[in-house]
């Protein structure tokens, strides 16, 4: 069947495609206009710089183009630049040529080079994944887009199907390969300055695993994560929403992220803020494990275009208060697996904002006092703020005392020694390893105990320094039972009563 088609992609890739096609039909009569480097065999050439070139092409077509002939327009942008009327001429030949056995083939570096008026007469053909996304073979022009738009694949005629990230919330009902192709296309064209990703695999499908390498991915949550990590991510999401609100509204009282970005483009000395796409596969399993996730994601969707947070559901769609638009579906390009292997080795793309730091003590690295500035005895985990602060004791006339509570082997005595080292002059302090010793109310008192019931009430009511390590019974926590149950069985890891979050105490 005779048909017109446009081959789009890097120059070398289009040349290889044409060479293979012509080699398969050696008797084909090819008439060329454009750059036409060897080894492409041609029967005749037309000079695109020739002013009457359009008339020559039409005369060729009307008076003598043989059946089975191919008109090759090699490098559309080059030819059109030299002959601005070329699109009308080629449109005419493309419209009536197939009925006469004449085919038109066009090559282009980018889809945008091809006029819309030609597209209805052509089948598109990307040479590869890079060609589909307008990326040169040397990868030098990757991550250059700022419009949050990318191809997710091709339609039945071979033309790109695009997605525009301005969704707030959406659903993807296609195959895992379609989802991966869509996300990889966005990753290959947009740096972390414009678009970042949070992957949440609720059911263990592994759909995001091949994409987790990308520097634009801020975190990947799988069912293997423990409950404490799940709660940390909830805190981190809430903090991310607050962070964006503060930046956008306080930096210049902007209405939304679009206004903020416009100020950045106009030279305002502001840090870039990327959109965040939260991709959730298997939401029902996720919500069953932690119901609070549903409300957090709904809040993120409502932030949508104003703050640049979006939620994309796949692999089972949860109930929401409003209908979500569907992510466009398309056929992935044939070399998706190849690109998944190639792109991790390409440099660039920026680095995503670290929305969730690893939990304290996760890697087994010991924290020592010489790793901290003077006056600090540990670090405080702040998952909501996406950071860690120093833990500094602060005894006052109102908050006079302290307590270190935990089960045996959790590091109570070591924490007390670290505190003594940091305080230095202990003349105003009474540090007691155990709750049953004589107390001097004229000094700041710090005691260790196995339970909070063993700590004298006057100390509990005036805590300047309260550390809750792993407890025998989390239900006896002074903070809350759920947080206490997630304290790991690691010496020196616990909760700060003042900050209501995790702490790690340094070794003295």
What is the tens place of the pLDDT at every residue in 5-42?
999 998 888 888 888 887 777 777 888 887 655 555 66
What strands, in cross-sheet order, belong to the sheet with 195-201? Answer: 169-172, 309-314, 275-281, 195-201, 217-221
> Are 103 and 2 contacting, i.e. CB atoms less than 8 angstroms apart?
yes
What is the tens place of the pLDDT at every residue in 40-99?
566 666 655 554 445 577 888 888 788 888 898 989 998 888 888 889 999 999 999 999
Tell whether 272 and 382 lie within a shared domain. no
Local structure of residue 99 (DSSP, 8 states) = G
Among 306, 329, 345, the domain-final residue is 345
Tell whether 431 and 319 lie within a shared domain. no
**Total domains present in the chain:** 3
Whether 114 is covered by a domain: the verdict is yes
What is the tens place of the pLDDT at every residue in 268-315?
998 889 999 999 999 999 999 999 999 999 999 998 878 999 999 999
Tell whether 437 and 299 lie within a shared domain. no
Whether 154 is covered by a domain: the verdict is no
In degrees and rounded to multiples of 5, residue 5 shows phi and psi of -150, 155
Tell whether 120 and 176 lie within a shared domain. no
Whether 172 is covered by a domain: the verdict is yes
What is the tens place of the pLDDT at every residue in 247-277?
888 887 788 888 898 898 899 998 889 999 9
- 20: domain CATH number? 3.40.50.300
User: Tokens 């840090």 sit at which residue?
Assistant: 271
Distance CA 334, CA 86 (A): 32
Tell whether 172 and 40 lie within a shared domain. no
Range of the domain at 309: 163-345
Confidence of residue 397 (pLDDT cuts 50, 70, 90): very high
DSSP per-residue codes, 42-84: -SEEE-TT-TTHHHHHHHHHHHTPPTT-EEEEESHHHHHHH-T
**Alpha-carbon separation of residue 507 from 188, 406, 426 (angstroms):** 45, 17, 19
Tell whether 170 and 287 lie within a shared domain. yes
pTM: 0.87
Give the closest residue to 129 by CA, choosing from 345, 338, 344, 341.
338
Tell whether 244 and 337 lie within a shared domain. yes
Among 99, 127, 155, the domain-final residue is 127
Give the closest residue to 433 by CA, choosing from 461, 405, 398.
405
Whether 104 is covered by a domain: the verdict is yes
Tell whether 393 and 492 lie within a shared domain. yes
Whether 147 is covered by a domain: the verdict is no
> Are 401 and 462 contacting, i.e. CB atoms less than 8 angstroms apart?
yes
């Amino acid at each position: 069947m005779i048909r017109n088609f446009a081959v789009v992609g890097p120059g070398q890739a289009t040349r290889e495609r044409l060479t293979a096609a012509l080699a398969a039909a050696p008797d084909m009569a090819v008439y060329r206009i454009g750059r036409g480097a060897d080894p492409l065999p041609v029967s005749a050439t037309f000079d695109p710089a020739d002013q009457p070139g359009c008339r020559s092409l039409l005369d060729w077509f009307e008076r003598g183009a043989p059946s089975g002939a191919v008109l090759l327009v090699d490098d559309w942008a080059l030819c059109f630049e030299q002959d601005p009327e070329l699109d009308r001429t080629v449109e005419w030949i493309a419209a009536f040529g197939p009925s006469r056995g004449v085919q038109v083939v066009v090559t282009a570096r980018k889809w945008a080079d091809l006029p819309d008026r030609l597209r209805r007469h052509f089948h598109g053909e990307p040479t590869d994944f890079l060609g589909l996304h307008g990326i040169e073979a040397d990868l030098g022009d990757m991550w250059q887009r700022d419009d949050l738009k990318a191809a997710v694949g091709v339609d039945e005629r071979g033309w790109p199907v695009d997605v525009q990230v301005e969704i707030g919330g959406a659903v993807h009902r296609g195959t895992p390969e379609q989802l991966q192709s869509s996300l990889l296309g966005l990753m290959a064209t947009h740096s972390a300055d414009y678009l970042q990703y949070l992957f949440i695999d609720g059911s263990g499908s592994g759909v995001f695993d091949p994409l987790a390498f990308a520097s634009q991915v801020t975190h990947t949550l799988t069912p293997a994560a423990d409950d404490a990590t799940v709660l940390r991510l909830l805190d981190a999401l809430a903090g991310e929403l607050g962070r964006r609100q503060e930046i956008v509204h306080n930096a210049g009282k902007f209405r939304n992220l679009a206004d903020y970005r416009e100020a950045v483009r106009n030279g305002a000395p502001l840090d870039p803020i990327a959109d965040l796409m939260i991709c959730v596969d298997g939401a029902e399993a996720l919500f069953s494990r932690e119901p609070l996730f549903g409300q957090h994601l709904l809040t993120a969707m409502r932030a949508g275009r104003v703050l640049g947070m979006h939620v994309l559901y796949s692999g089972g769609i949860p109930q929401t208060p409003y209908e979500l638009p569907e992510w466009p579906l398309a056929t992935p390009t044939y070399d998706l697996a190849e690109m998944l292997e190639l792109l991790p080795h390409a440099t660039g793309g920026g680095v995503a904002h670290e929305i969730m730091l690893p939990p304290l003590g996760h890697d087994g690295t010991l924290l020592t006092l010489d790793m901290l500035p003077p006056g600090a005895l540990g670090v405080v985990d702040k998952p909501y703020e996406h950071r860690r602060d120093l833990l500094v004791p602060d005894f006052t006339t109102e908050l006079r005392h302290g307590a270190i509570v935990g089960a045996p082997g959790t590091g109570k005595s070591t924490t007390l020694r670290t505190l003594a080292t940091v305080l230095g002059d202990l003349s105003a302090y009474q540090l007691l390893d155990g709750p049953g010793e004589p107390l001097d109310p004229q000094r700041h008192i710090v005691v260790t105990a196995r339970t909070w019931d063993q700590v004298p009430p006057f100390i509990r009511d005036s805590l300047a320094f309260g550390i809750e390590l792993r407890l025998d019974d989390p239900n006896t926590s002074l903070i809350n039972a759920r947080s206490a149950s997630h304290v790991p069985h690691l010496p020196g890891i616990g909760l700060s009563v003042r900050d209501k979050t995790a702490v790690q105490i340094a070794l003295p």
